[in-house]
Chains A and B, each alone.
Chain A
Amino acid sequence: MKNNMIFAQFFKNNGLMMGSLLIGLVGFWVIVLVILPQLSMLDYSFRYNLPPAELGGPKDVYTLHNYKHLLYGAEGSSGTYNTVDLMVFVRTIIAAMLVTIANILMCYPLAYYLGQSKGSGFVRLLVVLLIIPYWINEILRAFALRIIFGDSGLINEVLMLTHLTTEPIDFIRQDIALYAGLGYAYILLMLFPMYNVIESLDRNQIEAARDMGASWARIHRRIVIPHAKPGIASGATMVFMLSAGALAAPQVLGGPSSLWFTQLVYQWFNDSLNWQQGAAYAMVLLLSTILIVLTLMRVFKVNMGDIGK
């Protein structure tokens, strides 16, 4: 009854035609593009990988097989855990967290500087300079780092010219290039939300605090950071989710022996053509990252509405 009234009021506010168009577009997006595909992926993840002829046949039943594979490896190798894949998973999550923390630390001073020195031409120029790499292809950015970190890349050349090292350092194999690349890839998604909230902080608050004798550390801890919390949370959520779900940087910059979890998903899907297994791995990635974000949001008392500001 109440729902009926809401809809009646909605159509009264928008007219029948505009109202239907709005509902139609939003419905298509939310239901057909977001919810149903996720559900069908969930459905897939519980099925066997069967040849087309057997689909719908007696063998086409639900199973936990694909999830078991992540835990215990292929059937037959019973008993022990699938340490290879599990290690990749844990490493991905931990590395994504570290990348996020590193990004927060790197961006905060700049966000504060840009946000609080309002309007000058130099600051505008810096913002424009920041936007430029943001719109360069992810692949190209990874490629650029690869050029720099390669065995005969710029950094190794410089290190050897200055005799800091005699042999090139294998940045790729040691994953240094990968972490640098991940930090590089999404750093602006951390910077801009932070910059936006700090810009909205009234400078008088800082001056009032300083007037009352607060130290710089205290001003940041008690005034700037609490004010910037929604922006930091928004940026951290984005960076964490995108790093954990990154594919381009690991493919281009990852060492040959260490994989990113998304690469496993990619392999199941595109190389092994086992969509069901890939779906299960993707599902694990999706749910665990969401769970981590929700837990951290609860711990730091952040609302969903803050994300995306």
Chain B
Amino acid sequence: MSSKFLSRFALGAYLIIFFSYLLGPLLVMSLTAFNSSGFPSVSPWACFTFEWFTVLFNDDRILISIINSLKIGVGTVILSVSMGLAASLVLTQVWPRLRTTYYTLIIAPILIPGVVLGISTVVFWDKVGRMFGPSAELFFHNGLLLTILGQSTFIASYCMLVFVARLQRFDTGLTEAALDLGATHTQAFRKILLPFMRPAIASAAVLAFLASFENYNTTTFTFGNYPTLTIELAQKVRYGINPSISSLAFIIIAVTVFGALAVEAIRRNSVRKEAIREGKAAAKPGNILPGFLRGNPAAFVFVILSIIAITMVGTAQSHDPKECKAQVLLEKKAEIAIRIEALRQQRLIKDQSEARQGPDIFSTPDADAGDAAKTPSGSGAFGGVFAPTNLDSEDGE
């Protein structure tokens, strides 16, 4: 009895640790979007604010990069879904002896490091461009085109895997039956295979779009004059940070959560419909809406989250952090005064401590006041990773 309890406890603890590792950082990052503190942190909590969303929506570079990401995403979806579909169809008919070789070739792009794909794409099309002369060179140096080509190289493999899974359940007899009844090959493809593949095409397209949207390793070599959202984010994360990134992250996370839950709800519904159609479950008319909530924790969470989101947007109108901020400013001034006093006294006692205050110049008082209050020694608190010098030295060698 107690050993069973122990194993359940161990499982619970393990699940909690695993999911905190997975979700905790995202949660913390989301929270930092609402803290008025000048760089992303949850503690000390200064003021609850929406100002970082305003900063975000006024950032032209971000908006432009989102448009670039969308363009590239659409191009990548079209190219990689069609290549992936073709490759999976060829896989089902390729000569058995060639099968492994062929499969290795079309799965390899997943395993090739993204930086290698990016470099090889740039190098190759640069060469092609030079072969066609200066006017073509511009065309082949187009970041939009290069990024679509570079990303599709490996995203097509993901699509291919989705299609292969679906094709395993396809009865090739259906295509033969259509041909036998007089359909041309194109008609058989359009009327029989394509409708069968439609769900897989939809999921492959979503997959391809998301993969394109979040790609960094390949795009960082190919983007040229078309930085994607991910590239812009990377620039911001590396060279200058304020919580407007957190607010963007919060939006992305929220959209993802809603998307994932919606997909899950749709999936459950269609599974149930299928079961009803095949007579495995009794048809219960009208169970779509109430049943959506009943016995479906995902949908339950979905509804709770919607309510939270709506209340948050509602309070956003009425919430005014000005007063709070003024209060915080006062506190900070007091803290700084205390700190300066403390430093003076320290200096009197220890001359050496002077040297350790060096990095102070890089931090704004607004950002670090809270930490300073808690770590009166002052050392280390300012040598943090967020200081721009450290970031520069990281890449500048």
The interface residues of chain A lying within 8 Å CB-to-CB of B136 are: none
A17 at the interface (CB under 8 A from B): yes
Please indicate the chain B residues that have their CB under 8 angstroms from the CB of A104 in the complex: none
Interchain CB contact under 8 A, A37 and B301 = no
- Which residues of chain B are near A153, meaning CB under 8 Å? 41
Are A144 and B249 touching (Cβ within 8 A)? Answer: yes
B362-377 residues with Cβ-Cβ distance < 8 A to A are 368, 370-371, 374-375, 377
Binary contact track A188-227/B, C-beta < 8 Å → 1, others 0:
0000000000000000000000000000000000000000
Q: Which residues of chain A are within 8 angstroms of B249 by Cβ–Cβ distance?
A: 136-137, 140, 143-144
B240 within 8 A of A: no
- CB contacts under 8 Å to A, within B87-119, are 87, 89-90, 93, 95, 100, 103-117, 119
Q: In the complex, which of the residues B117, B245, B257, B374 contacts A143, with contact meaning CB atoms closer than 8 Å?
A: B245
B68 at the interface (CB under 8 A from A): no
9-residue interface stretch from B21-29, B54-62, B317-325, B347-355:
B21-29
CB of B195 closer than 8 Å to a CB of A: no
Chain A nearest Cβ from B16, distance in angstroms: 12
> Do B107 and A269 touch across chains, with their CB atoms under 8 A apart?
no
Asked if B115 contacts A144 (CB within 8 A), the reply is no
Contact of B386 among A26, A150, A279, A290 (CB under 8 A): A150
Contact A140 B395 (CB under 8 A): no
Chain A binder among B215-223, B306-314, B338-346: B215-223
Q: How far apart sit A173 and B125, CA to CA, in the bound complex (Å)?
A: 39
The answer, among A126, A168, A293, for a CB contact under 8 Å with B380, is A168
Contact present for A137 and B298 (CB under 8 Å): no
Q: Which residue of A30, A147, A187 is within 8 Å of B25 (Cβ)? A: A147
Contact assessment for A136 and B237 in the assembled complex, using a CB-CB cutoff below 8 Å: no
Measured CB to CB, the closest approach of chain B to A48, in angstroms, equals: 15
Interface pair A106/B18, CB less than 8 Å apart: yes
Q: What residue of chain B has the Cβ atom nearest to residue A107's Cβ?
A: B18
User: Quick check: is A4 within 8 A (CB to CB) of the other chain?
Assistant: no
Instruction: Given the known inter-chain contacts A109-B14, A247-B216, please indicate yes or no for A144 contacting B28, CB distance below 8 A.
Output: yes
Whether a CB of chain A sits under 8 angstroms from the CB of B225 is: no
Interface pair A133/B22, CB less than 8 Å apart: yes
Please give, as numbers and ranges, the residues of chain A lying within 8 Å of B111 by CB-CB distance.
237-238, 241, 290, 293, 307
Q: Is the CB of B115 within 8 A of A25?
A: no
Q: Interface size of B by Cβ–Cβ distance < 8 Å? A: 111
CB A36 to nearest CB in B, in angstroms, measures: 6
Residue A266 interfacial (CB < 8 Å): yes
Asked if A300 lies at the interface with its beta carbon under 8 angstroms from chain B, I say no
In the complex the two chains form, is B23's CB within 8 Å of A30's CB?
no
Q: How far is the CB of A53 from chain B (nearest CB, A)?
A: 13
The answer to whether B295 has its CB under 8 Å from any CB of chain A is yes
Closest CB-CB distance, A71 to chain B, in whole Å? 19
A263 to B253, alpha carbons, bound, how many Å?
28
A56 closest partner in B (C-beta) = B130
A160 contact from B121, B123, B153, B374, Cβ within 8 A: B374
With contact pairs A37-B121, A279-B119 given, residues A157 and B22 touching in the complex (Cβ less than 8 Å): no
* B121 near A271: Cβ-Cβ < 8 Å: no
A152 at the A/B interface (Cβ < 8 Å)?
yes
Residues of A within 8 A of B230 (CB): 137-139
Q: Is B64 an interface residue (CB 8 A)?
A: no
CB distance from A92 to the nearest CB of B (A): 11
Residues B153 and A34 in contact, CB atoms below 8 Å apart: yes
Taking a contact as CB atoms under 8 Å apart, the answer to whether B124 and A41 are in contact is yes
How close is B327's CB to chain A, nearest CB, in angstroms? 21
Q: Does A305 sit at the interface, judged by CB under 8 A?
A: yes
Determine if B357 is an interface residue (Cβ-Cβ < 8 Å). Answer: no
Contact A132 B298 (CB under 8 A): no
How many residues on A have C-beta within 8 angstroms of the other chain's C-beta atoms?
Answer: 107
Q: Is B328 an interface residue (CB 8 A)?
A: no
**If the complex has contacts A109-B14, A131-B260, A136-B252, are A266 and B110 also in contact, measured as CB distance less than 8 A?**
no
Asked whether B113 lies within 8 Å of A151 as measured between CB atoms, the reply is: no
Interface stretch, picked from B183-191, B272-280, B283-291, is B183-191
Q: How distant is the Cα of A129 from the Cα of B157 in the complex, in angstroms?
A: 25
- Give A293 to B393 CA distance when docked, in angstroms: 33
Interchain CB contact under 8 A, B217 and A245: yes
- Please determine whether A26 and B87 come into contact, CB atoms closer than 8 angstroms: yes
Chain B nearest CB, measured from A286 CB (Å): 5
Interface centre among A14, A17, A135, A237 (most CB of B within 10 A): A135
Question: In the bound complex, do residue B105 and residue A248 qualify as a contact, i.e. CB atoms below 8 Å apart?
Answer: no
- Residues in A112-152 with C-beta less than 8 Å from chain B: 113, 121-122, 124-126, 128-133, 135-148, 150-152
From B26, B86, B214, B238, A144 is in contact (CB under 8 Å) with B26
Q: Is B5 an interface residue (CB 8 A)?
A: no
Q: Which residues of A contact B214 (CB under 8 A)?
A: 135-138
Contact present for A238 and B110 (CB under 8 Å): yes
Q: How far is the CA of A193 from the CA of B229 in the complex (A)?
A: 29
Contact with A along B257-273 (1 / 0, CB 8 A): 10111001000000000
B203 at interface (Cβ–Cβ under 8 A)?
no
Q: Which 4 A-B pairs have the closest CB atoms?
A: A245-B113, A15-B185, A151-B384, A37-B120
Chain A contact residues, CB within 8 Å of chain B: 6, 10, 13-19, 21-26, 28-30, 33-34, 36-38, 40-41, 44, 55, 106, 109-110, 113, 121-122, 124-126, 128-133, 135-148, 150-154, 157, 160, 167-168, 170, 172, 184, 187, 237-238, 241-242, 244-248, 251-252, 254-256, 259, 262-263, 265-267, 269-271, 275, 278-279, 282-283, 285-286, 289-290, 293, 303-305, 307-308
B residues with a Cβ closer than 8 A to A are 11, 14-15, 18-19, 21-26, 28-29, 32, 40-43, 82-83, 85-87, 89-90, 93, 95, 100, 103-117, 119-125, 127, 130, 149, 152-153, 156-157, 161, 184-186, 189, 210, 213-214, 216-217, 220-221, 229-230, 233-234, 237-238, 245-246, 249, 252-253, 256-257, 259-261, 264, 295-298, 301, 368, 370-371, 374-375, 377, 379-381, 383-386, 390-391, 393-397
Given A147-B32, A245-B115, 5 more contacts at CB 8 Å? A18-B189, A141-B25, A237-B111, A270-B220, A271-B396
Report 17 cross-chain contacts, Cβ distance below 8 Å, ordered by A residue: A6-B95, A14-B93, A25-B85, A29-B86, A30-B87, A37-B125, A40-B127, A109-B14, A110-B14, A128-B298, A146-B385, A152-B371, A167-B377, A168-B375, A247-B115, A289-B113, A308-B161
